[in-house]
Amino acid sequence: MLGGLCTIEVFTLVDALTRRRIASWRALAFVTVAGSGCALLTGLPQELFPNHSPTLFQVLKNSLGLLSSSLALRYLGLWMGVAAEDRLLRFTIDSGSIGMAVAAGVMALLTLGSAESEWNQLLAITAVINGFSLLLSAIVSVRAVLLGDRTAWGMVGIAALMSIVVTGLYWRGLQWGNPGIGVWVVTAMATVLFFSAAVYLALRRDRLHLRLEKLASKAHSDDPVTGLPRGSLLVSKVDDAIWRSARKGHDCTVICLHLHNLYELAEWAGHHADQQILSAMTARLRRTLGFQYVVGLYHPRCFVMVITSAKETRLVEKIVQRLRYLMHKPLTVTGLDNANHTFSPRLGLGIVSVTTDSADAATLIGQAERQSLAIEQETTGTTVWGNVAV
């Protein structure tokens, strides 16, 4: 058991030194304090250092366990992140962590002022108080599950493991008989599993928060499913294409392809169906236009294409014909139950051409999109053309 705790301690230390995240330092502090308390209850430190004061070991026995419970409740509240919104969670976590910290100090002082014959009684009181902290941890974890945090089920399991650890270690520390090697093996395995699971969940949640921080701190310009530019990047690419065409004396044509029934199969094939459809439609667009033209995603149902070297409308007409031929072909979508579903695209095409470099890219995209939306109720394959002269 102590070997497993030392391994977890080294892992958390390395993680704290390399990542330098506050959650990693919290994990290190928890493993250090709680692991030391567990080690003291096994009696091994006293055997390894017989010349040290037994009073010091007893004070640590009666205080580190309660201090670990205080840290556990405080970190549990930070891990869940909903204590500020839920009054019951906030009250349970705040009062529990403060109460455990105060109890740790009181038990340390009582141990210092008591005789050696009373130490077992004080340790038994410490065990009862720690049992109360287990109840609070279970309440907090179940409450988080009820509030909709599915990952809190892991904390419910950790609370169950913690009850086994506390029972076994205090049984060992109080030396109440000899229940057999099996009980100690179960206690040792539960202890290592408890610390491993607690550290894993803490660092996993921290990595999730880090990912959300990165997502919130910058605007992603590429769609994660299709890899196509979107947002301000798409508008800038269209703007650049308009300028380049005007410099060469060519027309610039903006085509919007609106996929009206993108979410048609969501009820039968699941919410991943639209991602499969978008990936397939992107591949078809690239097959039709190649890689020399701008292709982007204005929003999930609207693709934007820009033809920049069109000296005459015949080239655009050929491209539109290929689009209508290829994009309307049915495709097969695999549902969540691994069943195949046939998707038949219903499209609208809107086209706007410009001959100047002073046209506004966002305005052109919006006009082409309105044209593609205007034919939603009309026959599949209808195309609306428009021209802008600025």
Domain map (residue ranges) of the chain:
2-217, 231-388
Is residue 127 predicted with pLDDT exceeding 90?
no
Q: What confidence tier does 310 reach under pLDDT thresholds 50, 70, 90?
A: low
The arithmetic mean of pLDDT across residues 265-277, rounded, is: 81
Over residues 136-159, the pLDDT tens digits come to: 888 888 887 776 677 778 888 888
More confident residue, 281 or 374: 281
Backbone angles phi, psi at 260, to 5 degrees: -70, -35
At 297 the three-state DSSP class reads strand
Structure tokens at 263: 């979410």
Q: Which of 366, 324, 365, 361 is nearest to 346 (CA)?
A: 324
pLDDT at 334 over 90: no
Is the pLDDT at 319 greater than 90? The verdict is no
Token digits of residue 114: 């008591």
Question: Sign of the CA dihedral 296, 299, 300, 306?
Answer: negative
Q: Tell me the average pLDDT across 281-286.
A: 86
Residue 116: DSSP 8-state: G
pLDDT at residue 376 is higher than 70: no
Q: State the CATH class of domain 231-388.
A: alpha beta
- Largest separation between any pair of C-alpha atoms in the chain: 102
Does the structure show a pLDDT above 90 at 304? yes
Closest CA to 32 of 69, 72, 5, 4: 5
Task: Write the pLDDT tens digit of every residue in 195-235.
Answer: 888 888 888 888 777 765 665 444 445 566 678 888 888 88
Give the pLDDT confidence of 63-75 residue by residue, as tens digits: 888 888 888 888 8
| pLDDT tens sequence across 80-120 | 765 555 677 788 888 888 988 998 899 888 888 888 778 78
Q: Which of 386, 361, 58, 353 is nearest to 239 (CA)?
A: 361
Cα separation, 182 vs 203, in Å, equals 32
Task: Read off the pLDDT of each residue in 111-135 and give the average, rounded to a whole number.
Answer: 84
Q: Residue 85: what pLDDT?
A: 58
pLDDT tens digits, one per residue of 245-266: 888 778 888 999 998 888 888 7
Kindly indicate the confidence band of residue 283, based on its pLDDT and cuts at 50, 70 and 90: confident
303 pLDDT tier (thresholds 50, 70, 90): very high
Is the pLDDT at 312 greater than 70, yes or no? Answer: no
User: Is the domain defined by 2-217 classed in CATH 1.20.1070?
Assistant: yes
Mean pLDDT score of the chain, rounded to an integer? 80
Tens digit of pLDDT for each residue in 3-31?
777 888 888 888 888 888 887 888 888 88
Q: How many of the other CB atoms lie within 10 Å of CB of 327?
A: 21
Equal fold, 2-217 vs 231-388:
no
Contacts of 234 (CB under 8 A, 6+ apart): 221, 228, 294, 296, 297, 298, 304, 365
Instruction: With H, G, I as helix, E, B as strand and everything else as coil, classify residue 387.
Output: strand
Residue 379: the pLDDT is 38
pLDDT at 382: 40
Does the pTM of the predicted model rise above 0.95? no
Q: How confident is the model at residue 177 (pLDDT cuts 50, 70, 90)?
A: low
Q: Which two structure tokens, joined as six digits, stand for 61? A: 């026995």
DSSP 117: G
Q: Are 243 and 357 in contact (CB under 8 A)?
A: yes
Residue 385 belongs to what H/E stretch?
A: strand 383-388
Place of tokens 């599949």: 380
